Amino acid sequence: MKRLVLGSQSPRRKELLELAGYEFEVRPSNADEVIEEGMPPEEAVLHLARVKAENVKVDENEVLLASDTVVVYNGEILGKPKDDQEARKYLRLLSDTTHEVYTGVCLKTNQTVDTFDVKTEVTFFRLSENEIDAYIRTGDAWDKAGGYGIQGKGSLFVEKIHGDYYSVVGLPLSRVARELKRLGIFPE
C-alpha cells in the first residue's frame, strides 16, 4: 500500500488533506524558494513545487506532494509580505480589482515526477484604509502570498472568485485527489 508524504509545513495544506480524509506524514522541504526575475507565474509555481519535491527523499511505496501558491497582480508576483508596509501595499493594489492566484503541485514517487498548476481569479471589494489597517493588526497577512488568507479574515475582502477556492487556500484539493487516486492513494 502506498503512503502519502506532504512536503510542506503549511498548516493550510495539512488541514485540507485532513479535511479530505487522507492519512499522511509531514516531511517538510528546506528548499530555497527563489524564482527567476520575469518567470511567468504558471512556470514559477511549478518550478517552486518541483524544487520543494527535489529536496525530500521518498521511499519505494511513497508519494510526495509538494505545492506552492503565488498571487499575481497585473503580471507581478506578490510574495509573502516582509513587513506591515509591504502588506499594506499589496492590499491597496488588490483593492477593487481582480487578481490571479496560481498553485503549482508536484507529485513525486521514486520513479516519476508529475506537475500541474491551477489558476483562480479573485475579485476584491474596494478596501478602506481602516479595513486594511485592521486586517494587518490581526497578523493574518503574514506567511501568505499577496498578504491575505481567503480562509480567514481575508475572506471579508473577496467579492467573488472564478475557479478553485481550495487552490487559493493553497491546494487544489479535488484535482489533487484525482491525481493521488491515479497513483494509488485514497482518502480513508
Q: Which residues participate in catalysis according to the annotation?
A: 68
What is the three-class DSSP state of 160? Answer: strand
d(CA 149, CA 146): 8
d(CA 130, CA 53) in angstroms, rounded, equals 40
Count of helix runs (H) and strand runs (E) in the chain: 6, 7
Quick one: cell of 177?
Answer: 485527489
Give, as one character, the DSSP assignment of residue 147: G
